[in-house]
A and B are shown apart, each in its own frame.
Chain A
Amino acid sequence: MADFAGTVDAIRFALKRDRLILPICVAGLIGWMAIYVVSYNDLYGTQAELNALYKSVAGNPALVAMSGPTGGLRSLGGALSWDSTPTLSIIGGVFAMFSVIRHTRAEEEDGRTELLLTSGSGRLAPLAAAVTITSFALALASIGYVVALSIGGFEFGPSILLSLSLLGFGLVITGTTAIVAQVTGKARTARGLVGIVIGVAWLLRAIGDTGDGTLSWFSPLGWAQQTRPFWENRWWALLPPLAATGITFGLAFWQLARRDIGSGLIQPRPGPPAASPSLLHPLGFSLRLQRGTIIGWSSMLFLYGFAIGVMGNNIEDILKSSTAFTEAFASASGDLVDSYFASILTVIAIMAAGFTISSALRPHSEESRNRVAMLLAAPLGKVRWVAGHVLIAYVASAMVMALTGLGLGLGLGIATGDFGETGTLLGSGFAQVPAMWLTGSIAVLLFGISSRLSSLAWAILAAFVVIWTVASFGELPQWIVDLSPFSHVPAVPAVSLEVKPLLVMTLLAAAFTAAGLALWCRRDLL
């Protein structure tokens, strides 16, 4: 028990550190569920609409692969569970991943854990605090789900079952992250590994659900769907996530009680004693630092685009089943599938703007890790160094979106046998890029003002997400909608390309970037 000494203090400290971000994340999760509740009540108000949805979806392999077994779609609650479970599970899981790593590996990497442990804290206390507050936040979100569902008129019992299923996945990822964070010595790598775990969980159940279902039982994401709320209400299917949570938590603490503090279980291997020519150029060096992240995002979004493209062929039937959907998309243009692709591309672009920000803010992370003085004491030039990273961020953003469009086109081509749309879809991916540049340039501007302000860029991106989500389901004053650059991207391929807004956004991005660089030039290094 001595190993847990100081856990309460550690929890208090972590809560104080997270006093802003934690409530925002919990509220975001609950809000997302509330949007599902409102929109399902809206979209499938009549049983006829639900029947039409069921008819178009049931057994469609592409949709089963995306979202799971479709048996429950005849009831409103079943349809909502089917649609929301993968999305909310994954978002909750990603939250759990960030939260656990932030309080364990990231702290250890920066050497703060060592200080804590040598000043009276037990060696298990930091991990205990991290999993406690993460589980607590997930549980709070689940209570919020139940409330939102109940207010929305959904049955109480199955609502609890759905919320527990989502909680189960979050807890399994919490435990998994607690293990993975100890395997590797770097927070960045740990996040990537957990991302892969979530991806594999999705893939296993996609294959399982389209086959005989066996593989789905090997996936935590599959478990979340096996409870089948509002349909078969299988409470016993909560047992696998419960067991997995216990096992992963136990393993994590067992491992921590045995491992050296400060390093991962995998030791980095030796490397070359001299630099390759590409490292001998400032831009090559910056690219080397960003390489892993760029490859990760590119492959992830290409595959995502591909998956969406494959099922795009069938999406028309689903869209047609809801009059509200048809109205929403038809108002934009004639072709339903094209409108659907346009809105998917916007969603991906907003996600990928997260990459643009993190990549453009690489100088900020270098600065806060005190790695800049030795670089800038060389004849490198302050502007040249930051501009290099920003250039990489902007070029990579364009590449990532082009790959997404290409994935969409190839997926659709494979499903239909007609690759004629590939070029258009690739171009449609590109159309999102100026909005991402603009978002990234705001980050550069903030970084130029001061290092501390840089993180505000994330709050701004969060605001864009909220604006997009609320605007696509409800009413929002036009001036608020206009604040987000993603509202100004023409909905290609559904409408013809309008160049003017793209040009304006590109010019604005260039102006903000230049201003950010000029301000950076003028300010002290941290």
Chain B
Amino acid sequence: MSAAIEVEGLVKNFGSTRALDGLGLRVEAGQVHGFLGPNGSGKSTTIRILLGLIRASGGSARLFGEDPWKNAVSLHRRLAYVPGDVNLWPNLTGGETIDMLGSLRGGLDPKRRKDLVERFELDLTKKASTYSKGNRQKVALVAALATDAELFIFDEPTSGLDPLKEEVFHECVREITGEGHTVLLSSHILGQVQDLATMFTIIRAGKTVETGTLEELRQIAASAGRDPESLSLEDLFLGIYSS
């Protein structure tokens, strides 16, 4: 099976700062892939390159085997994206925003939209300027999850969501993966990532540090002299960064 995302030796410079320094990432189709790293390590930058919003300075990034910068529009038909800080148009209501964003990708399934709105308990008639942070996030989540994309790219999608809505998000991700869709999930909530993802890539300072299943990561930790069985993703993450 070909990979949905293939990134090799990716480099990105912003002026004199090097945000990505030879990063690698491979996400197979149908996988939920956890993408982890401390603040400023380059997760969002990688995602923005994959979305064709910024251009790589070096290395290669492939989405479904194609160049995301050159073929942005055709690739975007196959993906949905939720950023971590959603900024909306203050005069539009949540409902209008969801429909507008959905129309860009050819319309939403009304049944699915209604179902998601109910589960996330979103008031669609409020103007975006009056939404709380979590509610803005929900608008973007409903707009993305109601589409029929092959690949979902989530960059800290639940920042600001309450625990109940986060649980709803978990259910939704399980549903879309059950239907065979691919998910790239970047998040600082390690419990969430451990819960949802089957593969993990951990990066630091623009470089990939570890990649593998939870088991494989545990083996690596074990070789460093730690007891593998009891380790959570959080322990592994902290272990990698304190070493």
Contacts and interface: CB of A to CB of B under 8 A. Distances in A.
B126 interface: yes
B105 A379 contact: yes
B11 interface: no
Contacts of B73: 379-381
Contacts of A281: 103
Contacts of A275: 95-96, 98-100, 103
Interface string A259-272: 00000000111111
Given A379-B74, A524-B54, A371 B87 contact: yes
B57 to A, nearest CB: 10
B96 A270 contact: no
A518 B92 CA distance: 30
Contact of B93 (A270, A373, A379, A381): A270
A374 B100 contact: no
Nearest to A524: B54
A285 B51 CA distance: 22
B129 A270 contact: no
A273 interface: yes
Contacts of A273: 93-95, 124-125
A343 B153 CA distance: 56
A282 interface: yes
Interface stretch (B21-29, B78-86, B157-165): B78-86
A374 B80 CA distance: 9
Nearest to A292: B91
Contacts of A289: 89
Contacts of B48: 373, 525
Contacts of A267: 130
Contacts of B96: 271-272, 274-276, 279
Contacts of B52: 376
Interface string B52-94: 1111000000000000000011101101110101111111111
A375 B105 CA distance: 10
B217 interface: no
A189 to B, nearest CB: 9
Contacts of B91: 268
A258 interface: no
Contacts of B1: none
Nearest to A380: B104
A374 B81 contact: yes
B205 interface: no
Nearest to A279: B100
Contact of B129 (A186, A371, A524): A186
Interface string B87-125: 111111111101111011101000000000000000011
A382 interface: yes
B174 interface: no
A274 B95 contact: yes
A263 to B, nearest CB: 8
Q: Give the one of B52, B54, B98, B103 with max A CB within 10 A.
A: B103
Contacts of A185: 90, 129
A186 B90 contact: yes
Interface in A195-253: none
B101 A270 contact: no
Given A271-B93, A274-B95, A370-B85, A376 B127 contact: no
B140 interface: yes
Nearest to A382: B72
A499 interface: no
Interface in A500-526: 524-525
Contacts of A282: 104
B53 A380 contact: no
A285 B100 contact: yes
A20 interface: no
A269 B48 CA distance: 35
Contact of B99 (A274, A288, A381): A274
A268 B130 contact: yes
A289 B99 CA distance: 15
A105 to B, nearest CB: 13
Contacts of B85: 370
Contact of B100 (A280, A373, A381): A280
Q: Give the one of A273, A276, A370, A374 with max B CB within 10 A.
A: A374
Contact of A375 (B104, B107, B130): B104
A378 interface: yes
Interface string A363-378: 0000001110111111
Contacts of A276: 96
A155 to B, nearest CB: 52
Contacts of A382: 72
B27 to A, nearest CB: 17
Given A270-B93, A275-B96, A380-B76, A374 B124 contact: no
Contacts of A269: 127
B53 A376 contact: yes
A272 B105 CA distance: 21
Given A273-B95, A378-B101, 6 more contacts: A268-B91, A268-B130, A271-B95, A272-B96, A272-B125, A280-B100
Sorted nearest first, the 8 A-B pairs with minimum C-beta distance are A275-B99, A378-B104, A273-B124, A280-B103, A273-B95, A377-B81, A524-B54, A271-B93
30 contacts: A268-B90, A268-B127, A268-B129, A270-B93, A270-B125, A271-B92, A271-B125, A272-B95, A272-B96, A275-B99, A275-B100, A279-B96, A279-B100, A280-B103, A280-B107, A282-B104, A288-B92, A373-B51, A373-B53, A373-B81, A376-B76, A377-B80, A378-B76, A378-B101, A378-B104, A378-B105, A380-B73, A524-B54, A524-B55, A525-B54
Interface of A: 185-186, 267-276, 279-282, 285, 288-289, 369-371, 373-382, 524-525
